[in-house]
Structure 1
Amino acid sequence: MTDSSVQKTAIVTGAARGIGLATTKQFLAEGRRVAMIDRDAEALMAEAKALENVLPVVCDVSQPEQVTAMIEQVAETFGRIDALVNNAGVADFGPIEQTSFERWRTVMATNLDGVFLCTQAATAELRKTSGAIVNIASISGLRASTLRVAYGTSKAGVIHLTQQQAAELGEYGIRANCVAPGPVRTKLAMAVHSQEIIDAYHDAIPLNRYGSEDEIASVIVFLCSDRASYVTGQTIASDGGFQSTGVGLPALRT
């Protein structure tokens, strides 16, 4: 049993921007301390400076030694780890025949290897708190689409890895779940999505809009909470119904 009077903590990777930063702020709002993890030191420190009860740690989650050191630093500083959100990821879109093995490995190293490494390194601490793991996949891991051979495959791997974690770590009271976001209205997405792509997504999504970073963060924070205490091994597509509408958009084929 854990002491409910002790302030809970969370680790969020890829916390310098986007969904990771939104998740960090929601954890802080509910009273948790948060270890903000990112390899972009400048962006990480700039965001952390404006927040309280955070520990910024510069770490590349694809590097085993850095991950081990990061988990040790968080455990030493906070004294406990109650939740791990594996959000760090990279996107590299392109046709299969133009995806080099180097590009493939770069995507896999962060998106899949990073989830494995962070979870393995944090398991001993999560056992002490009967903690929660939430891995961030993508709708691209649930349904194939063009130009995503490396990205989509890495996220499909994350979905299965989540089930492996749930099956093996459940006996310690550790829950593992996955969130698969659909199109999210991030600054990056809006910078690279043409109006044609935006319109096509709106037409294909039953809710007729992109999701927000906060909407995805709300699902993540819920899955880390006691309100989800009997939920494990699940993948939740937070996608406005996009998964239900079929495969592929013409605007995304080139």
Structure 2
Amino acid sequence: MELGLKGKVVVITGGTAGIGAACAIGFCREGAAVAVCGRTQKRIEAFNQECHAAGVTVFAAQADAGNIEELQRFADEVLGQYGHIDIWINNAGINIGKKLMDITLSDWEKMVRVNLTGVLFGTQIAARAMGEKGGVILNASSYASLVPSVGGTMYGATKAAVTNMTKTMAAELAPQHIRVNAYVPGVIDTPMNADRIAADITGSLIDAIALHRVGSPEEMAKVLIFLASDAASYITGTTIEVSGGKYAVQNSNVLWK
């Protein structure tokens, strides 16, 4: 299948680890030019080593996706480097796990700043850069937007908002020939989930998944690459769940015993 990604310029926020890093490498292998941003120089250096090992080159810059000035500066750097932006992935996100009565205003503001403000204004920045020639914007939602967890009030709320915003964004940007979709990862083996997966000594995480295993960042990347490609030209305003069939039924684990 011809994906039509050769020569495209792809921007990924929070692209130095996990799903973002896998996407960066995957897009490069499809012939795209890729730029990522990360919050710390340490992450960028580790990412550069990962890219070197994979035999690809990615433009990486330090920027906080929740800081609009830094995000705009990063976009300007990408435009200066490549001249245009075709695909923008609002992948950056944070999770501060706290029960309802322990949440502080500072916690809430941090979560909203990255998970919502970064997506909203990242989309604005991307759409302005794309202009009337069109493009693709992908937003990171979460399974928590469908089924939240105790201690995840803020995370679930911000990710549900991303899913909702994606629909409006898709409609408003359609006249510019810009498609906008969101993606819902299930339990993916990323640094954000590492402690959670390691602590699952009872196997409850796996028991809830029809495929009975966690997903890999590379599996997520393949879906995002498809959504960004010409092969998905009639898909917009929707949210794609990539969870291995998590909670597809209430008792999928019985077949694995």
- Deviation readout 1:52-102 (Å, 9 max, x if unpaired): 442111111111111111111111210110100110010111211111121
Of 174, 198, 205, which aligns to 2:209? 205
The 2-side partners of 1:190 and 1:218 are apart by 21
1:187: Cα distance to partner? 3.8
The AA in structure 2 aligned to 1:69 is R
Q: Which moved more, 1:39-48 or 1:227-236?
A: 39-48
Q: Is the 8 A contact 1:202 1:209 kept in 2?
A: yes
- Give the structure 1 partner of residue 253 of structure 2: none
Q: Give distance in 1, aligned partners of 2:77 and 2:7.
A: 17
| Unmatched tracts of structure 2, length 5 or more | 251-257
Question: Deviation at 1:198?
Answer: 6.2
Find the counterpart in structure 2 of residue 24 from structure 1: 24
Distance in 2 between the 1:229 and 1:68 partners?
27
**2:228 counterpart letter in structure 1:** C
Higher mean C-alpha displacement, 189-198 vs 173-182: 189-198
Contact 1:45 1:56 in 2 (8 A): no
Cα distance 1:196–1:46, how it changes in 2: closer, same or farther (>3 A)?
A: closer
The CA distance in 1 between the partners of 2:180 and 2:129, in whole Å, is 14
**Match of 1:206, as an amino acid?**
A
209 and 6 in structure 1: CA distance in 2 versus 1, 3 angstrom threshold? closer
Aligned residues of 1:80 and 1:125 also touching (Cα < 8 A):
yes
Q: Name the counterpart of 1:252.
A: none
Aligned partners of 2:5 and 2:30 also within 8 Å: no
How do 1:4-153 residues align onto structure 2 when only pairs under 5 Å count? Answer: 7-48=7-48, 50=52, 52-153=56-157
Amino acid at match of 1:7: G
Is the Cα–Cα contact under 8 Å of residues 143 and 243 in structure 1 kept in the other structure?
A: no
Q: Report whether the alignment pairs 1:159 with 2:182.
A: no
Change in Cα spacing, 1:96 to 1:5, as seen in structure 2 (3 Å) is: closer
Native 8 Å contact 1:80 1:129 kept in 2: no
Give the share of equivalent positions with the same residue, in percent. Answer: 33
Distance 1:197 1:183, change over 3 A: farther
Q: Which residue identity is paired with 1:81?
A: I
Q: CA deviation at 1:153?
A: 0.5
Equivalent pair of 1:175/1:232 in contact (CA under 8 Å):
yes
Structure-2-length-normalised TM-score: 0.89
Which whole-Å deviations, capped at 9, do the CAs of 1:179-235 have from their partners, x for residues lacking one?
Answer: 000111224423344544660011111111111111111111111000000000010
Could you list the per-position Cα deviations for residues 100-155 of structure 1 after superposition, in whole angstroms to 9, with x for gaps in the alignment? 12111111110111111111112122234310001111010122221110001010
Contact map agreement 2:25 2:56 (CA 8 A) in 1: no
After the TM superposition, which of the residue ranges 220-229 and 201-210 deviates more from structure 2? 201-210
Query: Please, which moves more after superposition, 20-29 or 57-66?
Result: 57-66
The CA RMSD over aligned residues, in Å, is 1.8
Which deviates more, 168-177 or 204-213?
204-213
Quick one: distance in 1 between partners of 2:174 and 2:5? 24
- TM-score (structure 1 length as normaliser): 0.90
Q: Where does the alignment leave 5 or more consecutive residues of structure 1 unmatched? A: 247-254
